[in-house]
Amino acid sequence: MSDLGDALDCQSCGACCASPHDPLPGVAGQPPTASLEPFVAVDPLDYDLLGPERVRRLVVLDPLVPSGLALAVRKTARGGAACACLQGDPGHDERVACQVYEVRPHACREVRAGGTWCRESRRLLGFETG
Ligand code: SF4
Ligand code: SF4
């Protein structure tokens, strides 16, 4: 992990789970370069996510992604958008948390604090990038 990664606290950030834009830019079926949303595809292998009733409410049909399933998106207090699974608004609330952290999609697990995706997400939301 980079020095930046060591210094970052994801629970006071959440940038990679959100976007400053609404509607959100991106290429259908692919994670946009900056933010996970709104194209966090839910893969059939993410079956743990699809099980509990609480989580099922957060997954929507999305013909733009190969699996046909994606996480729902909601508006944030700042007029952007965030994953519906994210509790709190990045840049607005002191703490944020993924409600489905233990069963979050594979796409989310690939994001590393201090990595390229992290830095770009933070840059877009105006957070320090080191
Ligand atoms: S953008 Fe980086 S620091 Fe922020 S929550 Fe995502 S991985 Fe963590
Ligand atoms: S599922 Fe959790 S980690 Fe993935 S984008 Fe949503 S809030 Fe972030």
Tens digit of pLDDT for each residue in 79-94?
888 888 999 999 999 9
Residue-wise burial string across 99-119, b where 16 or more C-beta atoms lie within 10 A, e elsewhere:
ebeebbbebbeebebbbebbb
Q: Cα(first)–Cα(last) distance of the chain, in Å?
A: 14
Average confidence (pLDDT) over 48-72: 81
Taking only the tens place, the pLDDT of each residue in 24-56 is 544 444 445 455 555 688 888 888 888 777 777
29 against 118, higher pLDDT: 118
Whole-model pTM?
0.85
64 C-beta closer than 6 A to ligand 2: no
CA of 118 to the centre of ligand 1 (A): 5
Counting from 1 in the atom list of ligand 1, the atom nearest the Cα of 13 is: 4
Q: CB of 15 within 8 A of CB of 125? A: yes
Predicted local confidence at residue 10, as pLDDT: 96
- Distance (Å) from CA 130 to ligand 2 centroid: 23
Per DSSP, the three-state class of 98 is strand
